[in-house]
A = this chain, B = another copy of it.
């Protein structure tokens, strides 16, 4: 009998008949096992039954070819010898796993059968060797159930039914009045095995096969037949895979770490996943099964001596020095083989090391950066490969504090992860209270139904923000991300009572009441809200970060700018690597104490003169705002968006503020109230905002442009390089941009003449309405740049309010209608198509039109890839997402 026959391919013991190039014949899993074995990795030995054999099986009316059976018999002898066991032996049985493996991965096509080979005789052998009859009979009853279900097809009748094997197990636990499976003793398990077998007979009229060979043929046949199961057929159809490929079958020896004190089991990493330091770390247990290591019943021991403390049990290094040596050698090989840090499961059976599984290891952001750089410097991988391996989102962990551990803490609620990071503070319910508490040196979490622009100051002083409503692009989310502050939005379980200054979670007997001043912890990375103060860990950049960033910047071809409304934000963004400001919103500037009153005066003015008088009070303040930002961005472009939100957002709501405003403008309170009423809108998103404000009250934009150009002139005189890009929002009509670009140029000319200074400024527009995309060629005539405002474009293209969508988006995600939130990742078939139309139309008129994006998508890696592919010049995102965007942009270029 030759092992390289047409039916089966052997692997194990540092050799293999096949190799990784034989995927079509051996399937993906079989080829991988052969490859590992060839590389000298001690995988438990086994054989792969080829896909050709599968075809023969079907041709042969679903009968296994005779030669296969013969070949299997001699293969199992060889395997048994390697492991030191014998298939069907009553004293030292070889047990097998049987798994399918097609040339492509087809998840869920067939379950695995483990411990094949057990029967009333062999189970006794297992009990003897392991000296653990309970383990042996538990393995046996599990095998019978698995075989009955997967191979024979004893299933529940309707979706509502309990699994029939599960049902018997539960009855048994009831009978013995125990809670856990592990509390059942050997005799109970023996009863179960009998009952399982009876169930199989009653259901199918067939006897459970005690003969291990019959078990094996049945299992192999069942794997072949699963190729034509309904779910496999549907899966292939969806993925355009051919029905003719067939599947291979992998039959592999089981190995056990619980057969005595010369046995062990463990998990290890080739580097430290928490900080990326080179060298093995891991844990193991002597005489144990794999699940014991993670179950926490016994305390796992360290693998290396240097990792353990004096009070801990001995390390693998001490207890099984030879096995450790083998493990170190194998780990090294695996890292080389896969070119990345590995997460390895191993078992030692009677002093022999077996590798059960290895995979690229999950790691912290810190470790990700360090390992990527180390692997390049160790000549494992190229710089490009290192950059491709970075998960840009994980860079977040370098920027924000995290909670050290969630151990023993149950979250009280979960909302949307709106801005990453961990925060601990006392609950307050108003922006004003937040400011007062902060002045008294208290850390506070601001809890609101939702926030509005007038809460900005309170948000600045809070350490974290939690809202009951709103999505991940709601006001709170956007502002918090801009500030790099942890924020959770859309936490629907929260019911806030502002009057009582409490919030409640749940109702009835489960109700939990949190009062003002109570301490909570919020995790903006996961959306979890926790009671009490969790310990946080500060964020640090590893030393390797700058090197990795420099590699990224070397391959990156799309610019990364930042959204920033203040000099502080601008400075921070620049430190993070931003190459300009892509969006400076001017509306936040109007909410400061010194100006909101003047701005409200402007809104209430009834004549142009009164409006101008009020605006003139704002002019010098606004000019100083721009001076600060321009100074911080010396030499880099700054895109300033003229006023965008509807005026009602600026009007007062509280009685006091209304009274103050009425006194300031010399009108009675009713006048102000009726003004507030008259400006209210049914759909403010689609209302009187953006350029529409400038059409009805041209003075607002005129004063803003004056402030921008005056600031630029003043700084130019100080030899600071200023590159203002003036951006007009919400353009939908050619006539709007025609009128407004003219206004901007006129004012700029006047101011430059007054100062006798020439400023190189640009005029551009937001493209944030479907109509603007459609007529972008008309708009392009009047502007130097486009900036796609994909937040609003997503809202209008979908007809979807981001403030209201939290009510039904969860259902959309659950039912698979949306795979991702379109406010997080740009919707390429819809919104993306309109963006592409806009770019094509715009560039058809101006070949070199500068084009960027300044919505929230500008910091989302898949969206950045889209922007790159669409031919944009830059993306702009909030300061704390600049590092993420830099790496995502580099990846887009690769």
Q: Contact at A695–B817, with CB atoms within 8 Å?
A: yes
Q: Are B695 and A799 in contact (CB under 8 A)?
A: no
Contact of A769 among B692, B695, B769, B797 (CB under 8 A): B797
Q: Which residues of B contact A730 (CB under 8 A)?
A: 799
Decide: A799 and B799 in contact? CB cutoff 8 A.
no
* B-side contacts of A811, CB under 8 Å: 695-696
Closest residue of chain B to A495 (Cβ to Cβ) is: B674
Nearest B residue (CB) for A807: B688
Question: Among B686, B774, B817, which residue has its beta carbon within 8 angstroms of that of A683?
Answer: B686
Looking at A684, A685, A739, A816, which has the most chain B CB atoms within 10 Å of its CB? A685
Q: Which residues of B contact A687 (CB under 8 A)?
A: 801, 804-805, 807
B804 touches A799 (CB 8 A): no
When each residue 686-726 of chain A gets 1 if its CB lies under 8 Å from chain B and 0 otherwise, what string results?
11100010011000000000000000000000000000000
Given A696-B808, A774-B834, also A817-B684 (CB < 8 A): no
Could you say which residues of chain B place their CB within 8 Å of the CB of A803?
Answer: 681-683
Is A190 close to B, CB under 8 A? no
Across the interface, do B829 and A774 meet the contact criterion of CB distance under 8 Å?
Answer: yes
Q: Convert A781-816 into 0s and 1s, putting 1 for each residue whose CB lies closer than 8 angstroms to a CB of B.
A: 000000000001001111111011101100110011
The reply to whether B683 and A733 form a contact with Cβ atoms under 8 Å apart is no
Q: Are B798 and A771 closer than 8 Å at their CB atoms?
A: yes
Q: Is A830 an interface residue (CB 8 A)?
A: yes
Q: Which residues on the B side are within 8 Å of A587 (C-beta)?
A: none
Contacts of A818 in B (CB 8 A): 733, 735
Size of A's binding interface in residues, CB under 8 A:
49
A104 in contact (CB, < 8 A): no
A775 contacts chain B at the CB level, 8 A cutoff: yes
Q: With A696-B811, A808-B696 given, is the CB distance from A775 to B829 under 8 Å?
A: yes
Q: Which residue of B lies closest to A685 (CB)?
A: B683
B682 lies within 8 A of A771 (CB): no
Tell me, yes or no, whether A831 is within 8 Å of chain B by CB: yes
* A792 CA to B829 CA, complexed, in Å: 21
- In the complex, chain B residues whose CB is within 8 Å of the CB of A797: 769-771, 774, 796
**Quick check: is A768 within 8 A (CB to CB) of the other chain?**
yes
A796 and B808 in contact, given A683-B686, A684-B682, A739-B817 (Cβ under 8 angstroms): no
Interface assignment of A732: CB less than 8 Å from any CB of chain B: yes
Give A733's nearest chain B residue, CB to CB: B817
* Contact of B830 with A775 in the complex, beta carbons under 8 Å: yes
Q: Is A17 an interface residue (CB 8 A)?
A: no
- Asked if A457 lies at the interface with its beta carbon under 8 angstroms from chain B, I say no
A683 / chain B contacts, CB cutoff of 8 Å: 683-686, 801, 803-804
A214 in the interface, Cβ–Cβ < 8 Å? no
Q: Is the CB of A798 within 8 A of B769?
A: yes
Distance of A798 Cα from B735 Cα, bound (Å): 14
Min Cβ gap A436→B in Å is: 28
Among A684, A695, A778, max chain B CB count under 10 A is at A695
CB contact between A801 and one of B686, B812, B830 (< 8 Å): that residue: B686
Q: How many subunits of this chain does the assembly comprise?
A: 2
A690 (CB) vs chain B CBs: closest residue: B799
Looking at the assembled complex, report how far the CB atom of A191 sits from the nearest CB atom of chain B, in whole angstroms.
40
The listed residue with most B CB atoms (<10 A of its CB), out of A769, A774, A803, A811, is: A774
A735 interface neighbour in B681, B688, B796, B817, Cβ under 8 Å: B817
Complex Cα distance, B797 from A795, in Å, reads: 10
Cβ contact of A800, chosen from B732, B775, B800, B817, cutoff 8 A: B732
Is B801's CB under 8 angstroms from A681's CB? yes
Q: Cβ of A397 < 8 Å from any Cβ of B? A: no
Which B residues lie within 8 Å of A769 (CB)?
797-799
Please, which residue of chain B has its CB at the minimum distance from the CB of A832? B774
Q: How far is the CA of A695 from the CA of B814 in the complex (A)?
A: 10
Q: Does A736 contact B (CB under 8 A)?
A: yes
Tell me if A833 counts as interface (CB < 8 A to partner B): yes
Q: Are B768 and A799 within 8 A (Cβ)?
A: yes
The reply to whether A800 and B686 contact each other, CB–CB distance below 8 Å, is yes
**Smallest CB–CB gap between A692 and chain B, Å?**
5
Bound complex: CA of A830 vs CA of B771, how far in Å? Answer: 5
| Nearest Cβ on chain B to A195's Cβ, whole angstroms | 36
| Closest CB in chain B relative to A214 CB, distance in Å | 44
- Interchain CB contact (< 8 A) of A804 among B681, B798, B812, B831: B681
Q: Is B801's CB under 8 angstroms from A682's CB? A: yes
Q: Whole-angstrom distance between the alpha carbons of A799 and B736 in the complex? A: 14
Chain B residue at smallest Cβ distance from A811: B696
Smallest Cβ distance from A449 to chain B, in angstroms? 10
List chain B residues, Cβ under 8 A from A692. Answer: 808, 812
| A831 with B771, Cβ < 8 A, contacts A682-B803, A683-B685, A803-B682 known | yes
CA distance A687 to B812 in the complex (A): 13
Q: Which of B685, B736, B834 contacts A770 (CB 8 A)?
A: B834
Report the separation of the CA atoms of residues A733 and B831 in the bound assembly, to the nearest whole angstrom. Answer: 12
Given contacts A683-B686, A695-B811, A804-B681, contact A732 B799 (CB under 8 A): yes
Report Cα–Cα, A283/B85, bound state, in Å. Answer: 124
Closest B-chain residue to A692, C-beta based?
A: B808
Given the complex of chains A and B, what is the CA–CA distance between A730 and B818 in angstroms? Answer: 15
> CA separation between A817 and B695, bound complex, in Å?
9
A277: min CB distance to chain B, Å:
46
Complex interface: chain B residues within 8 A of A792 (CB): 799
A496 to B62, CA, bound (A): 83
**Given the known A-B contacts A808-B688, A815-B739, A833-B774, are A798 and B732 also in contact in the complex, defined by CB atoms under 8 Å?**
yes
- Could you say which of A687, A770, A829 has the most chain B C-beta atoms within 10 Å of its C-beta? A770
Contacts of A768 in B (CB 8 A): 799
| Closest residue of B by beta carbon distance from A470 | B682
A window 820-848: CB within 8 A of B: 827, 829-831, 833-834
Please give, as numbers and ranges, the residues of chain B lying within 8 Å of A795 by CB-CB distance: 686
Nearest CB of B to A800, in Å:
6
What residue of chain B has the Cβ atom nearest to residue A795's Cβ? B686
The closest CB in chain B to the CB of A800 belongs to B686
Residue from A681, A696, A792, A817 whose CB has the most chain B CB atoms within 10 Å: A817
Q: How far is the CB of A505 from chain B (nearest CB, A)?
A: 16
User: Among B688, B735, B774, B817, which residue has its beta carbon within 8 angstroms of that of A830?
Assistant: B774
A804 touches B688 (CB 8 A): yes
Q: How far is B732's CA from A573's CA once the two chains are assembled, in angstroms?
A: 36
Q: Are B682 and A804 in contact, CB atoms less than 8 angstroms apart?
A: yes
Which B residues are CB-close (under 8 A) to A685?
682-683, 685-686, 799, 801
Pull 5 A–B residue pairs with CB atoms less than 8 Å apart, ordered by A: A684-B804, A686-B798, A695-B808, A735-B816, A739-B817
A-B CB proximity, top 3 nearest: A686-B801, A683-B801, A771-B830
20 further interface pairs, Cβ-Cβ under 8 Å (given A730-B799, A774-B833) = A681-B804, A682-B803, A683-B684, A685-B686, A687-B801, A687-B804, A695-B811, A732-B800, A733-B818, A735-B815, A735-B816, A769-B798, A770-B770, A770-B796, A770-B799, A770-B830, A771-B797, A774-B829, A774-B830, A775-B830
